[in-house]
Amino acid sequence: RKEVEQDPGPFNVPEGATVAFNCTYSNSASQSFFWYRQDCRKEPKLLMSVYSSGNEDGRFTAQLNRASQYISLLIRDSKLSDSATYLCVVNIARRDTGRRALTFGSGTRLQVQP
Amino acid sequence: DARVTQTPRDKVTEMGQEVTMRCQPILGHNTVFWYRQTMMQGLELLAYFRNRAPLDDSGMPKDRFSAEMPDATLATLKIQPSEPRDSAVYFCASGLVLTGAANEQFFGPGTRLTVL
């Protein structure tokens, strides 16, 4: 089982729609959570951190459910420019070394259509 | 506008050849990461350094891959000999990590490696 799992999609939604992605993680000791965005043939960039109390940044809302070990990202009023792959990222202790490092999910692809 | 730079941006080589990828982290960042991204495996952490010291290279095939940080402005990832299965996009990222907390990582544009 992967340490961080995401539905690869693609999610095809019309402009203005609300879309939500979920991500599950396997290590209950994980402490830090993030969403990164990656455009086609570009590098990943931080979209937002995910706090225990949930947080919002404009049209984007991130939530964390520690009990069920999942993270969600909600995008309201989708824009064409939101089309990208959204990577769920969890700070996990690596099996071999015990050192913590960011572990990336494989990403969920979003395509917003006019 | 500070950013991570990587060279080369694209590299096509033949199996068995040595490949060296270079990264210049953002000035002031104390942690440098090397990742590999493929369609099948996604983004995998290969190795990372803090204050130029290697902290973890458990994600890296030891027999052919090596990562170094000869100074604070340069990190290198070398593959010798290269194999077709090494074809991927290799990203370098840097960040400022304080007291063990995970902070934002800034990624370079990547090196797209094709091994024929």
A107–chain B Cβ distance below 8 A for any pair: yes
Average of per-residue pLDDT across A56-73: 95
Candidate from A34, A43, A46 with C-beta closest to B108:
A43
CA distance A16 to chain B (A): 29
CA distance A32 to chain B (A): 7
Per-residue confidence at A58, pLDDT binned at 50, 70, 90?
very high
Chain B residues whose CB is inside 8 A of the A99 CB are 55-56
Can you point out the beta strands (E) in chain A?
A: 4-6, 11-14, 19-25, 33-38, 44-50, 55-57, 60-65, 70-75, 84-93, 100-104, 108-113
CA distance A8 to chain B (A): 11
pLDDT of residue A38: 97
A93–chain B Cβ distance below 8 A for any pair: no
User: A104, A83, A84: which is closest to A34 by C-alpha?
Assistant: A104
Cα–Cα distance between A72 and A61 in angstroms, integer? 8
Q: Which bin fits A80, alpha (ψ -120 to 50), beta or left (φ > 0)?
A: alpha
For residue A80, the SS3 value is helix
Whether residues A44 and B56 touch (CB distance < 8 A) is answered with no
Q: How many CB pairs under 8 A join A and B?
A: 46
Candidate from A101, A106, A107 with C-beta closest to B56:
A101
Per-residue confidence at A21, pLDDT binned at 50, 70, 90?
very high
Average of per-residue pLDDT across A52-78: 94
pLDDT in tens, B62-110: 899 999 999 999 999 999 999 999 999 999 999 988 765 557 899 999 9
Whether residues B58 and A96 touch (CB distance < 8 A) is answered with yes
More confident residue, A12 or B62: A12
Output the average pLDDT for chain A. 92
**Residues contacting residue B61 through CB under 8 Å, at least 6 positions apart:** none
**Residues contacting residue B102 through CB under 8 Å, at least 6 positions apart:** A31, A32, A34, A91, A100, A102
Write the single-letter amino acid at B88. Answer: A
Average of per-residue pLDDT across A88-101: 80
Whether residues B43 and A87 touch (CB distance < 8 A) is answered with yes
pLDDT of residue B101: 59
More confident residue, A86 or B58: A86
CA distance A80 to chain B (A): 23
Percent of chain B predicted with pLDDT > 90: 81
Instruction: Identify the helix (H) or strand (E) that includes residue B8.
Output: none
pLDDT of residue B56: 87
pLDDT of residue B99: 65
For residue B86, the SS3 value is helix
pLDDT of residue B35: 97
Per-residue confidence at A31, pLDDT binned at 50, 70, 90?
confident
Q: Which bin fits B5, alpha (ψ -120 to 50), beta or left (φ > 0)?
A: beta
pLDDT of residue A70: 92
Cα–Cα distance between A7 and A21 in angstroms, integer? 8
Structure tokens at B4: 């991570």
The pLDDT of residue A102 is above 90: no
By residue count, chain B amounts to 116
Cα–Cα distance between B79 and B61 in angstroms, integer? 9
Whether residues A31 and B102 touch (CB distance < 8 A) is answered with yes
Q: Are A82 and A110 in contact (CB under 8 A)?
A: yes
Per-residue confidence at B53, pLDDT binned at 50, 70, 90?
very high
Average of per-residue pLDDT across A11-36: 92
Distances from the Cα of B21 to the Cα of A71, B6, B24, B31, angstroms:
34, 7, 10, 17
Residues 53-92 of B with CB under 8 A from A: 55-56, 58-59, 91
pLDDT of residue A30: 81
Question: What does DSSP say about strands B111-115 and B10-13: parallel, antiparallel, or unpaired?
Answer: parallel
Average of per-residue pLDDT across B48-75: 92
